[in-house]
Amino acid sequence: GLRAQRGKLLEGETPPRTGKNARGNSEWLLPRLHPGDAPRRYVFQLFASDTGLGLMPGASRDDLLRALRGH
């Protein structure tokens, strides 16, 4: 839902739409790090599409991937 002309989100700015996380809500999940834990790797995915997707807020990852097919 980010217009191409805009090109960025500012630090702390809420995106126009967010999907569901592993717990089924749209909140940011902070990592639970404990002393002595091995280093972790985090992967973020950014998708660009040639059309608006029309997904409802809280759409699942599967909903997103289905809507992206062919775009």
DSSP string, the chain: ---TTT----TTPPPS-----TTSSSSPPPP---TTPPP----------SS---PPTT--HHHHHHHHTT-
Specify the pTM.
0.54
Q: Do 2 and 15 contact (CB within 8 A), yes or no?
A: yes
C-alpha 60/C-alpha 36 separation (Å) is: 33
Higher-confidence residue: 28 or 70? 70
Reported as a pLDDT band with limits 50, 70 and 90, residue 50 is: confident
pLDDT at 51 > cutoff 70: yes
C-alpha 63/C-alpha 56 separation (Å) is: 10
Reported as a pLDDT band with limits 50, 70 and 90, residue 41 is: confident
